């Protein structure tokens, strides 16, 4: 095995120790956190010691720490993330139900980020050191500075409460929340597959505010990298040669400049998924979005160890796969890249 398949296999194998370290750290941190998961599940203080002891035995918290750790690692290897203490459902099944909502929000958030960041970065590069460039740079800095939860709340107040143009929260509204039958769990895609225009409009309306909130936080980084990469490429000798041949400036910038500037832009695109998953925690909470991030927040509040650990591992796997795909795209964008 050589070339691209060998590189992909190496990357997948490197993911295993990373996940092992991550699971170990999360496992140990949860055990030193204040609070008792069994007590939280049973409702707090008015529970007898006998009942608490019974449930600790049931969920394995009476066993030595090393034994608990060994059993959990063994379960992950078998694809068993355990049962949620809070709901008594299999964690993997719950994550599978929540994942499409997070994936859909991530896709639309990335589209917003690419649309705004890539476009503004490109304009800033071709209009470098002009007023429009300075204005765009201020916008990029502002996108870094704005806290996600504050931006989400402001958008809700303005567009949902004051203007009434868009819904405040959730994925569907009205009767559709009860009658719509998803196929893949990606509601926008499901509405298209069912040829349901009313549902598609409703889904997109519910996606606008959370996707824009999530996307705007990534716009600044995407825009700054696009600008810097394009400026570096436009200063190369082959760009000067292309201009000397009499090619139109737009052809020079887009055909000869943009493609060669894509490597760092794609790199940032992959890294954005890691940032996006962190931002999803705040975004899903503000907009009551029923995804993995909201599930993780509820699990943390309930000290639901299996759910917390399962969510972290699931998110880490998702980010690892995305980063692998991004790495493999390098050879498509730039033939000089060899694996």
For the chain, domains (ranges, CATH) are: 91-333 (1.10.3720.10)
Contacts of 73 (CB under 8 A, 6+ apart): 20, 23
Contact criterion met (CB below 8 Å) for 88 and 192? no
All residue ranges of the chain with pLDDT < 50 are none
Residue 156 contacts residue 265 (beta carbons within 8 Å): no
- Tokens representing 258 are 């943009």
- Which residues, listed in sequence order, are joined to residue 90 by a DSSP beta bridge? 83
pLDDT of the residue at 254: 67
Neighbour count for residue 217 (Cβ, 10 Å): 26
Tokens of residue 175, six digits: 């009767």
- How far apart are alpha carbons 59 and 55 in whole angstroms? 6
Residue-level pLDDT at 309: 83
Cα separation, 33 vs 143, whole angstroms: 34
- Between the alpha carbon of residue 332 and those of residues 262, 295, 326, 336, the distances in Å are 11, 37, 10, 9
- The values of phi and psi at residue 180, to 5°, are -70, 130
In three-state secondary structure terms, 173 is: coil
| In the block, residue with structure tokens 């298209």 | 192
Q: What distance in Å separates the CA atoms of residue 18 and residue 24, rounded to the nearest whole number?
A: 10
Distances (CA, A) of 116 to 125, 208, 216, 221, 334: 14, 14, 8, 11, 24
Quick one: pLDDT at residue 14? Answer: 78
In whole angstroms, what is the distance from residue 314 CA to residue 308 CA? 10
Can you tell me the distance from the alpha carbon of 148 to that of 213, in angstroms, rounded to the nearest whole number?
7
Which has the closest alpha carbon to 75: 63, 92, 89? 92
Chain-centroid distance of CA 20 in Å reads: 21
Residue keyed to tokens 């460039």: 133
Structure pTM? 0.81
Tokens of 254: 């887009």
Question: In residues, how long is the chain?
Answer: 339
Enter the DSSP assignment of 259: G
The closest alpha carbon to 132, from 115, 144, 119, belongs to: 119
Sequence-ordered alpha helix ranges (H) in the chain: 4-32, 37-42, 49-59, 65-77, 91-113, 119-126, 131-145, 148-155, 176-179, 187-193, 197-234, 237-244, 249-251, 262-286, 292-301, 305-333
């Amino acid at each position: 095995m050589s070339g691209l398949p060998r590189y992909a296999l190496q990357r997948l194998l490197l993911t295993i120790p990373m996940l092992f370290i991550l699971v170990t750290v999360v496992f140990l941190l949860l055990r030193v956190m204040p609070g008792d998961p069994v007590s939280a599940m049973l409702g707090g203080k008015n529970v007898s010691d006998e009942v608490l002891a019974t449930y600790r035995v049931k969920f394995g918290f009476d066993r030595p720490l090393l034994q608990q750790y060994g059993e959990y690692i063994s379960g992950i290897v078998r694809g068993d993330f355990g049962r949620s203490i809070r709901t008594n459902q299999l964690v993997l099944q719950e994550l599978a139900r929540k994942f499409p909502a997070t994936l859909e929000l991530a896709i639309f958030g990335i589209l917003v980020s690419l649309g705004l960041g890539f476009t503004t970065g490109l304009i800033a590069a071709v209009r470098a050191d002009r007023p429009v460039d300075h204005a765009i740079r201020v916008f990029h800095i502002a996108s870094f500075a704005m806290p996600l939860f504050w931006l989400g709340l402001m958008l809700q107040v303005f567009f949902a409460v004051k203007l009434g143009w868009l819904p405040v929260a959730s994925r569907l509204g009205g009767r559709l929340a009860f009658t719509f039958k998803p196929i893949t769990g990606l509601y926008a895609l499901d509405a298209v597959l069912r040829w349901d225009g009313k549902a598609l409009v409703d889904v997109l309306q519910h996606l606008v505010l959370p996707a824009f909130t999530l996307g705007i936080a990534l716009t600044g980084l995407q825009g700054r990298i696009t600008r810097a990469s394009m400026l570096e490429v436009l200063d190369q000798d082959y760009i000067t040669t292309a201009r000397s041949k009499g090619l139109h400036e737009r052809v020079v910038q887009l055909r000869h400049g943009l493609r060669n500037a894509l490597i760092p832009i794609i790199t940032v695109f992959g890294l954005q998924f890691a940032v996006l998953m962190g931002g999803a925690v705040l975004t899903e909470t503000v907009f009551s979005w029923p995804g993995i991030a909201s599930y993780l927040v509820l699990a943390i509040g309930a000290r639901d160890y299996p759910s917390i650990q399962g969510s972290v591992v699931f998110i880490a796997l998702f980010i690892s796969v995305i980063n692998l795909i991004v790495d493999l795209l390098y050879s498509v964008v730039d033939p000089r890249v060899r694996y």
